Amino acid sequence: MSYLLCIMSILVLTSCSSNDKNQKKVDNDKVSEAIYNTSSSNRNKNFIRIEIKYWNGHVARLHRMEYSDDVLVLYCDEDNFKHAINDKVRVNQLVDLIQQFYIKKSDKIILSKKKLNMVRASNFSSIQVKIMDKEKLLADRKTQIGSEEYEIEFNPEFIKLYQLIQKLTSFCEKI
């Protein structure tokens, strides 16, 4: 029994280290710093509120962000600690990318999937986005950043969204 446990542990550790190599498309330090319009007059006509839940698989923490009335609030570890995010450029970039993928759906999140020859075990990060208007839920989609069975090519713009969410929630890792 201990022999089997030892082999399983080695496989998981090997998979986790190879997972870091396979995530070259997702680099935490390279969030685009493009200039975004800081005026939000046209930005939120399609929705009332955005809720983003981000599961950080690297540190096993769930964070939630809520955007409404031009204010973005970060809840570290779901609800335990609340922090307002005042970086208008990044907040507007976040809202623009959310609109691109979840409201307008002008671009695909996943460009291609290729079946792997072996299953890799890992604790992948994920993003869940909910968009509400006055009366109904407009969107509710969860995206896992990686797969146990597939090599996934994400849209580069979606990678920017993922990296931006990582950057915005990184405040929680410091407390």
**What per-residue confidence (pLDDT) applies to 175?**
63
Q: For residue 54, name the pLDDT band (cuts at 50, 70, 90).
A: very high
The helix/strand count (H/E) of the chain reads as: 3, 8
| pTM of this structure | 0.71
pLDDT at 158: 97
Contacts 24+ apart (CB under 8 A), 136-139: 138/46, 138/47, 138/103, 139/102, 139/103
* pLDDT number for residue 21: 37
DSSP 3-state percent helix, strand, coil across the chain (nearest 5): 30, 30, 40
The CA distances from residue 144 to 128, 149, 156, in Å, are 9, 12, 15
- Under the banding of pLDDT at 50, 70 and 90, the label for residue 2 is very low
Query: What's residue 48's pLDDT?
Result: 84
End-to-end alpha-carbon separation of the chain, Å? 40
